[in-house]
Amino acid sequence: MPRYACLEIRTSCSSCGQPIPVNGPYLKMICPACFKDVSISGDVVGDFLNDFEEEYESLNSGQGQGGTLMCGSGTFKYGYWRLPPRCSKCKKPMELPEVNENAVIRCAGCQAEYSFFPVPDWLGKKVPSAVFCITPEPPPGADGAEALKVDETASRPIVMSCPQCAGALSVSSGSDRIMECKYCSSEVYVPDEVWTRLHPVKIAVEWFVGLEGKNVHQLRLERRRRDEEEEKEFLKSWKLRHAPEKARVSLRRYLPVFWIFLAIAVMVTLIGVFSEEGAKEIGDTWSTVGPFLIVPFVVMIPAWFALRSALSSRMGRGKESKKALAALAAKHSWKHEGAEYKGSQGYIDTKYRGRDIEIRPDDDYAIEVEINDCAFYLRTEPPGYPGDEVRRFSSGDPEFDDVFPIRYAKPEFAARIENSNDEARSVLAPVYWFLSRWGDRLGRMKADWSTVGVHIAPGHMDVMDSGGRYLMPADLEPLLEDMMILASGLDAVASGREPELP
């Protein structure tokens, strides 16, 4: 069953500040006061309609919402209502064409004319349920601009007298507000009465959008369900592939202890074999020496492993990581906070090249850098909790997909990635560049709405387990610089620019 949205929107000119009615799905308009071009983001109208769709079921006929929106495109005063198409002058219902193509509708009551046309492509992409528009203005052009409608009666020249010499001046709609008298060369200001007659004030009026089928919120919900099912199946195989690696890494940690214990056992055996009593005394030797082996193996070695994690930040490379962090802070006059605690490496929380950064070597993500509006949601380990505005994608590169089992992108970028391998490489270029430099030592990595974060081994020795967290001193500054390049690259991709990579 079709649904109808009635909209009324106005904004203001960024040049002269005068109000501009937005009486249709236009991306470009001309200010009626100063004749400057005004651009309007398609997200504005699209978001209004999607908000209406979300509230549609809770609205009764004639009900709606209104308010003021302030965004990068300007300030918009808006209202939307659940109303079928009607004449904005006499309020009589409109009869709609049977075919969804350009047509002119005349009100049966006052004979006012309205334009009926399919929604522009850009609006159809932002509002999948939108089908047609009805506006008091002509349809937008191919570039989304409002078609210029000339009022023939208002465009006829008006004759007025020059206040200086009384010479006859012919003023038309193309004349400047301050014009020069051709007789005395004086500058003459065109009076408000004449100017308004030549340039009638446009007012905001109702316009309508016809809606059918599932709205964007329902489509996103269906897509999210499919994404979750796909992710669930992928993670099953992903964990199976990486679980043996975890076991191997865990066993390698215990190999030194095993070899020490084996060496001691061999030594005790040899002592028994080559003693004066001979091989028959081996049992007696074990009974004498055994307790000295059992106590260290059963008590001291487990205690050492328990203390190892707590002492990691004060021992060996963890201690060196803390020193490197202090040196980096001193170099840039940053504050090294939390360094007074012996069990902590401390952290840096500051601004660098206009971006917020955090450096915490013993955290899940040693370095985090602020980004604007990331086009991706990537994680090297589950779980991940992306929002509804992104969808899961496959890069077509098994190695890349294996690194990021949680991988989502905004729909337009996901479509580009899955369109071709070349497009995927282009869109994901900043991430591929970073992986080419740090991928062989990558522990954890994430890219989300506002930050990109990373931790390099040995802070995370394997994919499934974090281990003791620190950064190699030699990696700290190069890693920070590469993170800044990665952040700039992700911002460039999100804004449609080509990323600048070394």
Burial of 162 (0-12, 13-18, 19+ CB in 10 A): middle
- Rounded Cα distance, 112 and 287, in Å: 110
Given a contact cutoff of 8 angstroms between Cβ atoms, the answer to whether 223 and 389 are in contact is: no
Please give the structure tokens belonging to residue 354. Answer: 């206009």
Point out which residues pair with 347 in neighbouring strands: 337
- Report the pLDDT value the prediction gives residue 221, as an integer from 0 to 100: 83
- Report the pLDDT value the prediction gives residue 445, as an integer from 0 to 100: 94
- Rounded Cα distance, 6 and 49, in Å: 10
- Rounded Cα distance, 491 and 230, in Å: 28
- Report the pLDDT value the prediction gives residue 308, as an integer from 0 to 100: 53
Query: Amino acid identity of 159?
Result: V
- Report the pLDDT value the prediction gives residue 500, as an integer from 0 to 100: 92
The model scores a pTM over 0.85: no
- Report the pLDDT value the prediction gives residue 118, as an integer from 0 to 100: 94
Given a contact cutoff of 8 angstroms between Cβ atoms, the answer to whether 477 and 255 are in contact is: no
B/e letters for 104-130, b = 16+ CB within 10 Å, e = fewer, are ebebeeeeeebbbbbbbebbeebbbbb
**Which parts of the chain register pLDDT below 50?**
150, 152, 246-251, 309-316, 462-466
DSSP per position, 217-276: HHHHHHHHHHHHHHHHHHHHHHHHHHHHHHHHHHHHHHHHHHHHHHHHHHHHHHHHHTST
- Rounded Cα distance, 427 and 413, in Å: 7
- Rounded Cα distance, 374 and 452, in Å: 9
Dihedral sign from CA coordinates of 264, 265, 268, 274:
negative
- Report the pLDDT value the prediction gives residue 282, as an integer from 0 to 100: 53
Burial of 337 (0-12, 13-18, 19+ CB in 10 A): middle
Burial of 427 (0-12, 13-18, 19+ CB in 10 A): buried
383: left (phi over 0), alpha (psi -120 to 50) or beta: beta
Q: What is the mean pLDDT of the chain?
A: 82
Please give the structure tokens belonging to residue 342. Answer: 């012996």
Q: Give CA torsion, residues 461, 463, 468, 474, to 10 deg.
A: 50
Length, in residues, of the chain: 502
Given a contact cutoff of 8 angstroms between Cβ atoms, the answer to whether 54 and 129 are in contact is: no
Phi, psi at 416, each rounded to 5°: -65, -40
Phi, psi at 98, each rounded to 5°: -80, -25
**445 Cβ contact partners less than 8 Å away, ≥ 6 residues apart:** 365, 378, 379, 380, 403, 404, 452, 453, 454, 455
Q: Which of 14, 460, 201, 458 is nearest to 446 (CA)?
A: 460
- Rounded Cα distance, 67 and 234, in Å: 44
- Report the pLDDT value the prediction gives residue 191, as an integer from 0 to 100: 83
DSSP 96: P
- Report the pLDDT value the prediction gives residue 225, as an integer from 0 to 100: 85
- Report the pLDDT value the prediction gives residue 344, as an integer from 0 to 100: 83
Phi, psi at 145, each rounded to 5°: -85, 150
Phi, psi at 476, each rounded to 5°: -60, -55
**129 Cβ contact partners less than 8 Å away, ≥ 6 residues apart:** 3, 53, 211, 212, 213, 214, 215, 216
